[in-house]
Structure 1
Amino acid sequence: MSLVQAEARVGSAQAGLRLDQAVAELFPEHSRSRLSGWIKSGELTVDGVTAKPRTPVAEGAVVRLAAEVAVATRDRSEPIALKLLFEDEHLLIVDKPAGLVVHPGAGNRDGTLVNALLHLDPRLEQLPRAGIVHRLDKDTSGALLVARTLAAHTALVALLGERGIHRQYEAVVNGNVLAGGTVDAPLDRHRSDRLKRAVTDSGKPARTHYRVRERFRAHTLVECQLETGRTHQIRVHMQHIRFPLVGDPLYGGSLRLPRQATETLDSTLRGFRRQALHAERLGFTHPITGEEVLAEAPRPADLAALILALRQDRERHAD
């Protein structure tokens, strides 16, 4: 448990507002739901007296917060090396390698990104999900955003919900994509396979923008930008338009080789055991400092080798 203490005086801008509305402005580092809970528990008072969330507040009233916050993340820390793309006292951006599970779960209690983050900064145990703002699948590599303070976490989660965080990916897909476009198709759990997601009319809205970067004989390198961030979104959307990601164990289908593929391409495609997807760029306005943050994760070696093999195969058959 840790003690959270704060004090603020109601100004003219908050005068007459409901208490829960006023404290949301006075203590923006805390979520509305958490503040509401503290009002109801009596840990947030007005002039030393408990009040209800709907009670109007008067200008000049003193609002005091004295609350105990339980540890939000109970996983243990582990000395797992992490490569950082950006770091300051408020947040950090990790270059997550493929194969690293983000959150501990059944069968993966240790060796996850959360375990590594708790070793890097033990204070993250006080934050939901150890400060992780969004997620990447285990076998997707690239930039992942983590808050280091409650204020930053609250602001970044809100920014993500407002689509204020630019997320750009690159992917190698099966097939020849002729032009860029947008996939606007709602996603929900697959009806029969609990590990998968599927396009369904009853799902949550999901939109992915994509454009062609480079064409090969039977594959395409595409750039994808997320407007929403549903589980497996790019993977499902690209399969939906019949261009599944190379190596995707859930949505990729059978191995696809161009005719008379080079030995290098044949072995590279057969040996590529993960979805060919990389979160290459994150961009947003820093919620605390107001500075523009742009982080780019370099293309990992396995994806670089795949793209090189595809280029060499294309050049060999150019004539």
Structure 2
Amino acid sequence: MQPLHRDPWLLAVNKPAGLLSQPGLGADQQDSLITRLRAGDGDLHLVHRLDRDTSGVLLLARGLESLRRCSALFAQRRVNKLYLAEIDGALTGRGCLDAPLARLQRQPPRYGRHPDGRSSCTIWRVRRAVNGRTQLWLRPLTGRSHQLRAHLADIGHPIVGDPIYGGSPAGRLHLHALALGFRHPFSGARLRLHSPSPLPWPSHRI
């Protein structure tokens, strides 16, 4: 698995699409990123998670003190997260999606707008558009399950390749965790971890 950053406290890797961040409940869901990495370093801990079908930057902590400090950065919203997505339909400009989200069904897990849901906020900006599809930069200010997928589906623009939220069929979910930016919890140095996008553009024949 491709490392993006490595030091005595932190490891950042480029998670491939199709791999769970951590094991699931079924016997067929035991293979995961953390399982593979712990085979070589048993003191690694996930700081956050990406959906199975999302690729990109994933941060791990080495040791419990590193996990505590990194988790505090995320909880205090001191980590800047940037994603790239391709959606169905045309959008222009920029905006903010702030629909409260709750789980609407269990199998498969699906989230959506609900008056009793948790507050959720996603900032978006158009990167480019062609032939009825749009590529967006997304910055989630909160970290809810399926937040980006549910927010975009809520406004009628599901992510391409998303079978749960109604995106156009594709070989994979067109969502990539492009970058994380934060101050190193031990050295104080500013880190920006970047994973080049593997998403084709345009993803369909023009």
TM-score range, shorter chain: over 0.9
Within the candidate set 86, 97, 100, 2:19 is matched to 100
How far apart are the structure 2 equivalents of 1:192 and 1:94?
29
Report the equivalent of 1:212. Answer: 126
Letter paired with 1:97: P
Whose Rg is larger?
1
Give per-residue Cα distances to partners, 1:236-295, cap 9 Å, x unaligned.
000111111011010025x3xxxxxxxxxxxxxx5x233210000011000101011111
Match of 2:8 among 76, 81, 89: 89
Higher strand share: 2
* Pairwise CA distance, 1:180: 1.1
The answer to whether the 8 A contact 1:249-1:274 is kept is no
Report what 1:278 is aligned to: 176
Moved over 6 A (4+): none
In structure 1, which of residues 287, 290, 312 is the aligned counterpart of residue 185 of structure 2?
A: 287
Which runs of structure 2 are paired with 1:123-272 in the superposition (5 Å)? 123-124=43-44, 131-191=45-105, 195-253=109-167, 255=168, 270=169, 272=170
In structure 2, what is the equivalent of residue 17 of structure 1?
A: none
Paired residues in the alignment total 205
Question: Percent identity among equivalent residues?
Answer: 38
Residue 122 in structure 1 maps to residue 42 in structure 2: yes
The Cα offsets for residues 7-48 of structure 1, whole Å up to 9 and x where unpaired, read as xxxxxxxxxxxxxxxxxxxxxxxxxxxxxxxxxxxxxxxxxx
Aligned 8 A contact 1:248 1:273 in 2: no
Question: 1:110 Cα deviation (Å)?
Answer: 3.1
Give the structure with the higher percent helix: 1
Q: What letter is aligned with 1:299?
A: S
Deviation at 1:176, TM superposition (A): 0.3
Letter in 1 for 2:89: G
Q: Is the 8 A contact 2:108 2:164 kept in 1?
A: no
Where structure 2 has 5 or more consecutive residues not aligned to the other structure, the ranges are none
The alignment yields a C-alpha RMSD, in angstroms, of 1.6
In the other structure, the counterpart of 2:32 is: 112
- TM-score by length of structure 1 reads 0.62
Q: Which amino acid aligns with 1:89?
A: P
Q: Which moved more, 1:107-116 or 1:97-106?
A: 107-116
The alignment partner of 1:190 has SS state of strand
* Counterpart AA for 1:222: L
Instruction: Tell me by how many angstroms 1:121 deviates.
Output: 0.9
Partner SS, residue 65 of structure 2:
helix
